[in-house]
């Protein structure tokens, strides 16, 4: 999959693929859940029938994240199902040929719908655009389906609105999935995502606290995006080509006055060096919320209880 990194790289893309006609969709696509997959599957049929290639346009960060940062209210940032790098991987798995990373910044925020069409959409050989039923774009969200439809009619470009995807008479949405993950309802999240909820990250050096307590952990690098999970979880871990059970803590480690969120995973039955390597963590069940203990001895006691809970689960 070819990734266009920002408006400034459109010309480079055009120079390589100027003969390629596109069917495009625009949105946030957080989670790439079943609703998003439904859109891409519909694009695939049109692409095959017309010899088009699929293009997914998405913004980073999410607009609400941008405004929370710019207003200095980081704690109000909405959680992200997964970071944009994972989004790119999932798009590849869905056989999307091209994706377009649009940096949501002040320039994009203040861009009128007319300018967005001129600077982005009109420069690409797009033959059809599919958007969600709630899609808005441009400064003050002034652009909508009718705006795009009028532009499409003038330029012989098909503009189509996709209907909301329902499961069990309920709307499948990123918001709903985030709520499930926050509550620890991983079964419903799995159903809506069409796959288990996982996080893949690189193992980095931490404070070695787990080793000091006799419970070595793999610390995973986390993106700046706020994730919708917090607490202690029973997990399944893929590492070094093998699958293990585990217990994971996602939090700031208040007992040792931690500040930034860390994902620490104790892998049951594993012994080896994972530093610098990527592992995949699948969240299965929430055990408890993170809490501040009265010293390391009390923390250690609780950790061994959590490990025992995980062993019982897998047995």
pLDDT, position 60: 81
Cβ of 311: how many Cβ atoms within 10 Å? Answer: 14
pLDDT, position 85: 84
pLDDT, position 192: 97
Q: Residue 278: which of 242, 239, 243 has the closest Cα?
A: 239
Superfamily name and number for 2-171: HUPs (3.40.50.620)
Largest CA distance in the chain: 71
Q: Which residues pair with 4 in a beta bridge?
A: 100
Decide: residue 289, CB within 10 A, 0-12 exposed, 13-18 middle, 19+ buried.
exposed
CA distances from 250 to 47, 159, 185, 221, 229 (A): 41, 43, 16, 11, 7
On whether the CB atoms of residues 218 and 171 are closer than 8 A, the answer is no
Query: Which token pair is 313?
Result: 């689960």
Q: In whole angstroms, what is the distance from residue 173 CA to residue 190 CA? A: 13
pLDDT, position 190: 97
pLDDT, position 72: 57
Between CA 197 and CA 206, with CA 203 as vertex, the angle to 5 degrees is: 120
What CATH number matches the domain at 198-314, 3.90.1640.10, 2.40.30.20, 2.40.30.30, 3.30.565.10?
Answer: 2.40.30.30
Map out the domains of the chain as residue ranges: 2-171, 198-314
Q: How far apart are the first and last CA of the chain?
A: 41
On whether the CB atoms of residues 250 and 231 are closer than 8 A, the answer is yes
On whether the CB atoms of residues 24 and 129 are closer than 8 A, the answer is yes
Q: In whole angstroms, what is the distance from residue 89 CA to residue 74 CA? A: 27
Q: Going residue by residue through the chain (315 aa), what tens digit of pLDDT does each one get? A: 999 999 999 999 999 998 999 999 998 899 999 999 999 999 999 999 999 999 999 988 777 777 776 655 555 677 889 888 889 999 999 999 999 989 888 888 889 999 999 999 999 999 999 998 778 888 888 888 999 999 999 999 999 998 888 888 888 999 999 999 999 999 999 999 999 999 999 999 877 767 777 888 999 988 777 789 999 999 999 999 999 999 999 988 778 777 788 899 999 999 888 999 999 999 999 999 999 888 888 998 999 999 999 999 999
On whether the CB atoms of residues 87 and 32 are closer than 8 A, the answer is yes
pLDDT, position 71: 59
């Amino acid at each position: 999959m070819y990734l266009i990194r920002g408006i400034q790289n459109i010309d480079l893309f055009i120079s390589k693929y100027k003969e390629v006609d596109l069917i495009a969709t625009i949105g946030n696509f957080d989670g790439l859940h079943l609703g998003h997959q439904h859109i891409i599957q519909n694009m695939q049929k049109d692409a095959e029938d017309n010899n088009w290639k699929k293009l997914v346009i998405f913004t980073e960060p999410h607009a609400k994240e941008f405004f929370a940062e710019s207003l200095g209210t980081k704690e109000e940032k909405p959680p992200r199902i997964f970071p944009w790098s994972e989004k790119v991987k999932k798009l590849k798995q869905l056989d999307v040929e091209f994706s377009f990373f649009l940096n949501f910044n002040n320039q994009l925020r203040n861009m009128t719908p007319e300018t967005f069409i001129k600077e982005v959409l009109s420069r690409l050989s797009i033959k059809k655009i599919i958007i969600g039923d709630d899609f808005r774009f441009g400064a003050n969200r002034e652009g909508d389906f009718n705006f795009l439809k009028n532009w499409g009619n003038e330029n012989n470009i098909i503009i189509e609105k996709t209907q909301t995807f329902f499961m069990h008479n309920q709307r499948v949405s990123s918001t709903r999935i985030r709520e499930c993950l926050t509550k620890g309802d991983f079964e419903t999240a799995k159903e809506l995502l069409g796959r288990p909820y996982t996080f893949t990250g690189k193992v980095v050096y931490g404070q070695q606290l787990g080793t000091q307590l006799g419970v070595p952990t793999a610390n995973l690098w986390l993106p700046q995006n706020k994730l919708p999970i917090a607490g202690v979880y029973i997990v399944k871990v893929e590492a070094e080509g093998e699958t293990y059970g585990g217990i994971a803590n996602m939090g700031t480690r208040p007992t040792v006055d931690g500040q930034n969120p860390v994902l620490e995973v104790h892998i049951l039955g594993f012994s080896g060096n994972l530093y610098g390597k990527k592992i995949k963590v699948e969240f299965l069940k929430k055990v408890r919320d993170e809490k501040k203990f009265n010293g390391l001895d009390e923390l250690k006691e609780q950790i061994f209880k959590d490990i025992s809970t995980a062993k019982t689960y897998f047995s």
